[in-house]
Amino acid sequence: MRLLPRSAPTGPDSGGGPAQQASGRTSDDHGGHALRAPSALHAFNRYEIKYLVPTERLAAIRAELRARLDLDSHATEGGYGVWSVYYDTRLLRFYWEKIEGLRFRRKIRVRHYGDRFDIDDDTTVYVEIKQRVNRVTQKRRVAMPYGDARLLCDGRQMVRHKPGQTGFIQEVLGLVQGLDLRPVAMTGYQREAYVGRDADLGLRVTLDHRVRGRDREFDLGSAAENRLIIPASLSVLEVKANDRVPYWLTDLAARAELSVVRVSKYCQSVEAFGRAPRSLFHIPDHDAEAPAPAAEDTDDPTHLDVAAAAAPALIMKATR
């Protein structure tokens, strides 16, 4: 696939010049976007923009990302798995806050990075509170053994923790107890992650492939079957910036004819399994329901279903 001609740069920081040669290196992630910070409580604020990328446009977009950005230091060739269990109320309060576009909204999840088939009670996972305040996304999280995370979120009990984590742990416990939270949906996908360097320090760009989910068996290590909740012919491109999105990246999206979308993997999973009516922002999943050509849960992005490339590529543009 060939991108549309590059538009002219508007200034010295516009990114309109020639792309840097791919370095093949990985970043040490010290620009404010580390996945696994060693501090007791990892927290940050950022702006997030999402696009849907059809399979036939991936190669060109990936090439430019690799020329301008570094691979995440935790990434391996082919990326890594991201598996999350989302908690909500019986009436799906957090889901409806997202759908209705409340200026302040949040959600709680337990997340694991890597191979889900190796998870046991001693595996490190992250208990996270992700919230949106106006246009800014805030995320706070604490790393702990999976057994402790389940005791906290499912057993609703205080767990052992490090100094500096007490306030966060108490907040999570207050939410799961006060709102009667329970596991509602699980999502998983294979992620390619890139981080900025030089003038783009603090920028993080991810490509998520084969987005799957399920509405039962919420043990992260379970071998239960997952189902595609976004067509295999579409990947989710997320741009996460501390301050501003660089010109070259918005120009890349424009030349690839990508549209900004309001897509939530959690909401997509809730709707895909019929727990709520399909919203205006739901990605049509008729292709996602077709049988996978190989093992359903493969974590190799090269297994993308190229034959499904004719799936709808444009969803409603973001209204907020």
Name the average pLDDT for the chain: 82
- Give the closest residue to 202 by CA, choosing from 237, 140, 138, 245: 245
Token pair, residue 184, equals: 């509602």
Residue pointed to by tokens 């009990």: 157
Q: Which residue did the predictor score with more confidence, 247 or 291?
A: 247
Given a cut of 80, is residue 56 above it in pLDDT?
Answer: yes
Coil, helix or strand at residue 45: strand
For the chain, where are the E strands, in sequence order?
A: 42-54, 70-71, 80-88, 104-113, 124-133, 136-145, 182-195, 204-214, 227-228, 234-241
- Give the closest residue to 149 by CA, choosing from 117, 187, 123, 175: 123
pLDDT on residue 299: 45
Over residues 57-71, the mean pLDDT reads 96
Sorting pLDDT into bands at 50, 70 and 90, what band is 126?
Answer: very high
Sorting pLDDT into bands at 50, 70 and 90, what band is 243?
Answer: confident
Over residues 32-59, the mean pLDDT reads 75
- In sequence order, the β-bridge partners of residue 209 are 190
Least confident of 41-45, 84-88, 222-226: 41-45
Whether the CB-CB separation of 81 and 189 falls below 8 Å is answered with yes
Provide the sign of the torsion angle of the four alpha carbons 276, 277, 278, 279, taken in this order: negative
